[in-house]
Amino acid sequence: MTLVFAAGRYRLSLPESPDHWELYHRIRRDVLLEAQKYAVELRDELAPGHHPRLLWLDEHPIGSIRVDVLAPGRAALRLVAIHSEWQRKGHGSALLSLAEQLARDLGCHETVVYATPEAARFYSKASYAEEDWDDTYVSGIVQMVKRLG
């Protein structure tokens, strides 16, 4: 059974076809690799505890994310991306809200994220706080945490 989370005109769902997987990877590639030059690991999308999702606005695939359960009660939001044509229009907040609901439904009470300094302001507005949650230090990355209600 595929879990689909919906809020208004948005839905967050597992890519279910080769075309949907291509859309998922293309959004990540375009936003995270080409636009920002970040290295992204693509091999382990369906490893145990990994939950890749496409964000849809009506029938338009506009974003992607992977929610990884790290330990009991904690989920990491990974590779958060909104297609460049759809950025700065509130869609990132919808993606974050639906991903947090997925994390809750997976039994998690907090979410963590590695953020760029530019993205840290976005996460702060969504009640994320700077907090070291991983002993691995990555230069230029802000570690952030949100306790889920």
Q: What is the pLDDT of residues 45-90, one digit of tens each?
A: 888 999 999 999 999 999 999 999 998 899 999 989 999 888 888 8
Q: 1-39 pLDDT, tens per residue?
A: 345 556 678 999 999 899 999 999 889 888 876 445 444
For residue 119, the surrounding DSSP H or E stretch is helix 117-125
- Domain range spanning residue 134? 4-147
Reference 24, options 76, 81, 67; nearest CA is 81
**Residue 143 maps to which CATH number?**
3.40.630.30
Which of 21, 4, 1, 16 has its CA nearest to residue 101?
A: 4
Distances (CA, A) of 107 to 32, 35, 98: 28, 34, 14
Q: Count structural domains, the chain.
A: 1
